[in-house]
Chain A
Amino acid sequence: QVLLVQSGAEVKKPGASLRVSCEASGYSFTGYYIHWVRQTPGQGLEWMGWINPNSGDTTYAQLFQGRITMTRDTSISTAYMGLSGLRSDDTAVYYCAKRAVADAVPIFDHWGQGTLVTVSS
């Protein structure tokens, strides 16, 4: 059974940085791209980018270029999404997600449970 388990809710100050983790189980972690998607009250669902856990290669959405970093630790089957320079409009639920097929196409069969991040002074 494929499971993606994310880290818990966080409250951050404007300007701070964030790191959310996504621990995978039930499949070969290095065989499938991990994507990150966030859901905000104002903008709805937004795709943020992906990481190839095998190579570490990443692709980021232009909206987040310069302040997003995706990494992984294959020894513990965990992917990470970091976001810097947080603003109030970064308040969102952040999801990791993967496809059932081993390619980068952003179709999401499996999702983490979501991590609520609140940015507030």
Chain B
Amino acid sequence: EIVLTQSPGTLSLSPGEGATLSCRASHSITTQLAWYQQKPGQAPRLLIFGATNRATGIPHRFSGSGSGTDFTLTISRLESEDFAVYYCQYYGSSPPFGGGTKVEIK
């Protein structure tokens, strides 16, 4: 069973700053990793799949990297609408999600 651990739990940043979110898998998952953004009262929104591929309509300030067990979501310059909770997800069998990283306004 794959377990995904996200860090940090909370990231306090100002608009315009960059954000680096981490997701670590308990075993190698090659690049079978997706990232989602979720705002209060809304469903998650797909940002990245295949560890590095932006989903349709996702701004270029969002980028994903990594393979194997260590993955990163980078937001180059935070805009007001980017303050949200971010989840990683392994999309193999019984796909687990990570516990989430909240990006909040400092």
Contact = CB atoms under 8 A, between A and B. Distances in A.
A45 B56 contact: no
Interface residues of B, number: 19
Given A44-B99, A105-B91, 12 more contacts: A45-B44, A45-B87, A45-B89, A47-B94, A47-B97, A95-B43, A107-B46, A107-B91, A108-B44, A109-B46, A112-B43, A114-B43
A106 B91 contact: yes
B49 to A, nearest CB: 5
A113 B45 CA distance: 11
20 contacts: A44-B97, A45-B89, A47-B94, A47-B96, A47-B97, A61-B94, A62-B94, A97-B43, A100-B56, A106-B89, A107-B46, A107-B49, A108-B36, A108-B44, A109-B56, A111-B44, A111-B45, A112-B43, A113-B43, A114-B43
Interface of B: 34, 36, 43-46, 49, 55-56, 87, 89, 91, 94-100
Interface string A18-59: 000000000000000000000000001111000000000000
Given A108-B44, A111-B43, A45 B97 contact: yes
Contacts of B89: 45, 106
Contacts of A97: 43
B106 to A, nearest CB: 24
Interface of A: 44-47, 61-62, 95, 97, 100, 105-109, 111-114
A9 to B, nearest CB: 13
Most central of B49, B56, B95, B97 by chain A CB within 10 Å: B95
A38 to B, nearest CB: 11
A109 B44 CA distance: 9
A54 B91 CA distance: 22
Contact of A106 (B95, B99, B100): B95
Contacts of B36: 108
A76 to B, nearest CB: 22
